[in-house]
């Protein structure tokens, strides 16, 4: 079930990284392959900062994480109140959303009932309300009803209607959330699974919209501020981006489809952050948090003062209906642990959890290969958390080769910035020596086997598990592929 957990954690994280990657390119033209797409920030956005899409989704997520039933009026009241709070200082709020929140809060405390009335009135007066602003924030609703597809469909529409009266917006949320739920359970990408929840007369129309998205490129779908076009652009980015072959020896990984398809969504142009947030939520559900590039994860942050760790931490309580995490982060008995310089690079220190708690002098970046408690995370230096589980079972590490490669890439990046890196897990027996061996092999151009032997000479108790050793063999011919 570890891979299911990974996919649950991928939903909000995928939304947020898509949003933050697309943010600097919002309202720009489509971007061809000759142009970069990087998480560089721009306009009011810092590098890695997410926008309204994720902020509004996190407001829903916070309420869902308490275990509240989102179908109920109290939960929906709490969501609109949180949106209102956020909108007061937000850097950007969608036109439709701002108008509805303002009207609903006029002359008293906002409630879900007043928001729905304001949304309907706005639809009446403007003649339309089918912007993409309810689809962009819908992902957490899927996590709240993983075990009940009918309840999911009802709730996805109800949360959409808090600001967007148009049935196209509700339909889009129902279809996308159903697809996210299906992806979390199966790892499959299929946006048609929720069609049965639509009114019979509207199913054919959506089938044809989905079909035309698949026959088009994301940038050829005009006007993606409209919810239908945003849906189509996101689905087009996912389905027209080729899934890379699994060929670790040549640095090619199937799960890298996550990164490539989110990149393609940004390249659609116009409402880039929203199209990429929508795509990222579904891709994250299918591939899991472990497929999200660590370089993106490392930069991610935004309202209400969270980083990637906080976004990931919200996902499980939603899926568990508010039950808290019972994992014991104290790792009793591992307080001392090993600590040694990497045999090929003394500015990479290899250690156990004790080294994180008593950070060695000079260390100014940390790469954690195990789960760490919130109080162990330093905020004054880069701290990257890698999802790696020390077990032989392939279900535990669904994208093991990609994750090992990513872990090494992030150490390389931190070193290229001149940082001294602590690379650690709980006891430096299996995960740390494995990543250290791959790092060393790439650094020195030697085989992983040789690098592992040298790492084991420095860490005499190290003995990577069989799955990790086999992964090193698979990755070995590719050590020089960067």
Which residues bind to Mg ion, rule: CB under 5 A?
Answer: 51-53, 273
Q: Nearest approach, Cβ of 133 to Mg ion (angstroms)?
A: 9
Q: Nearest approach, Cβ of 23 to Mg ion (angstroms)?
A: 7
340 beta partners? 350
Of the candidates 464, 465, 437, 462, which has an alpha carbon nearest to the alpha carbon of residue 451? Answer: 437
Which positions ≥6 away from 466 have C-beta within 8 Å?
392
Of the candidates 281, 311, 309, which has an alpha carbon nearest to the alpha carbon of residue 136? Answer: 281
Q: Nearest approach, Cβ of 171 to Mg ion (angstroms)?
A: 21
Nearest to Mg ion by Cβ — which residue? 51
Give the nearer residue to Mg ion in terms of CB position, either 52 or 149. 52
Give the nearer residue to Mg ion in terms of CB position, either 302 or 478. 302
Q: Is 299 left (phi over 0), alpha (psi -120 to 50) or beta?
A: alpha
According to DSSP, residue 4 is labeled H
Give the nearer residue to Mg ion in terms of CB position, either 266 or 472. 266
Cα dihedral value 119, 124, 130, 133, nearest 10: -20
Give the nearer residue to Mg ion in terms of CB position, either 95 or 109. 95
CA distances from 124 to 36, 95, 120, 128, 164 (A): 42, 16, 6, 7, 11
Give the nearer residue to Mg ion in terms of CB position, either 275 or 414. 275
Q: Nearest approach, Cβ of 52 to Mg ion (angstroms)?
A: 4
Q: Nearest approach, Cβ of 292 to Mg ion (angstroms)?
A: 19
Q: Nearest approach, Cβ of 35 to Mg ion (angstroms)?
A: 20
User: Residues 262, 265, 42, 80: is their CA dihedral positive or negative?
Assistant: negative
Give the nearer residue to Mg ion in terms of CB position, either 133 or 433. 133
Q: Nearest approach, Cβ of 273 to Mg ion (angstroms)?
A: 4
Q: Nearest approach, Cβ of 51 to Mg ion (angstroms)?
A: 3
Give the nearer residue to Mg ion in terms of CB position, either 51 or 76. 51
What 182-190 contacts at long range (C-beta under 8 Å, 24+ apart), as own/partner pairs, is 183/7, 183/282, 183/285, 183/286, 184/4, 184/7, 184/8, 184/11, 184/142, 184/143, 184/146, 184/285, 185/4, 185/146, 187/3, 187/7, 187/286, 187/287, 188/286, 189/238, 189/239, 189/282, 189/283, 189/286
Report strand pairing: 421-424 vs 348-351: parallel
Give the nearer residue to Mg ion in terms of CB position, either 99 or 384. 99
């Amino acid at each position: 079930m570890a891979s299911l957990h990974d996919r649950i954690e991928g939903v909000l994280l995928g939304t947020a990284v898509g949003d933050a990657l697309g943010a600097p390119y919002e309202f720009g033209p489509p971007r061809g392959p000759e142009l970069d797409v990087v998480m560089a920030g721009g306009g009011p956005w810092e590098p890695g900062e997410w926008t309204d899409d994720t902020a509004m989704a996190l407001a829903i997520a916070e309420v869902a994480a308490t275990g509240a039933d989102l179908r109920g009026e109290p939960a929906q009241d709490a969501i609109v109140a949180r949106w209102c709070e956020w909108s007061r200082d937000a850097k950007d709020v969608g036109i439709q959303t701002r108008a509805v929140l303002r009207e609903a809060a006029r002359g008293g405390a906002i409630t879900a009932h007043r928001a729905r009335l304001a949304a309907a009135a706005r639809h009446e007066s403007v003649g339309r309300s089918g912007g993409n602003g309810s689809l962009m924030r819908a992902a957490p609703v899927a996590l709240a009803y993983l075990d009940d597809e009918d309840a999911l469909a009802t709730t996805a529409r109800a949360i959409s209607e808090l600001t967007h009266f148009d049935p196209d917006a509700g339909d889009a949320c129902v279809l996308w959330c159903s697809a996210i739920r299906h992806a979390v359970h199966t790892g499959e990408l299929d946006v048609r699974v929720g069609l049965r929840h639509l009114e019979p007369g509207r199913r054919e129309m959506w089938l044809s919209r989905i079909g035309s998205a698949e026959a088009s490129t994301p940038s050829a779908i005009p006007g993606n501020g409209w919810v239908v076009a945003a849906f189509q652009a996101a689905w087009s980015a996912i389905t027209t981006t080729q899934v890379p072959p699994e060929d670790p020896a040549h640095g090619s990984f199937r799960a890298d489809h996550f990164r490539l398809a989110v990149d393609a969504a940004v390249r659609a142009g116009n409402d880039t952050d929203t199209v990429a947030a929508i795509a990222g939520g579904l891709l994250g559900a299918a591939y899991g948090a472990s497929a999200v590039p660590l370089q993106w994860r490392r930069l991610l942050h935004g309202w209400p003062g969270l980083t990637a760790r906080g976004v990931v931490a919200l996902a499980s309580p939603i899926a568990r209906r508010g039950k808290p995490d019972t994992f014991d982060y104290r790792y009793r008995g591992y307080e001392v642990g090993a600590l040694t310089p990497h045999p090929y690079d003394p500015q990479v220190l290899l250690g156990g959890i004790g080294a994180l708690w008593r950070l060695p002098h000079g260390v100014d970046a940390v790469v954690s290969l195990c789960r760490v408690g919130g109080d162990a995370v330093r905020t004054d230096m880069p701290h990257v958390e890698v999802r790696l589980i020390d077990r032989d079972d392939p279900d535990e590490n669904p994208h093991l080769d990609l994750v090992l490669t990513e872990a090494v890439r992030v150490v390389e990046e931190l070193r290229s910035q001149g940082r001294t890196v602590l690379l650690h897990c709980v006891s430096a027996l299996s995960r740390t020596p494995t990543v250290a061996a791959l790092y060393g092999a790439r650094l020195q151009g030697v085989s992983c086997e040789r690098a592992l032997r040298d790492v084991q000479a420095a860490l005499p108790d190290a003995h990577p598990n069989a799955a990790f050793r086999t992964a090193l063999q698979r990755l070995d011919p590719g050590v020089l592929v960067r």
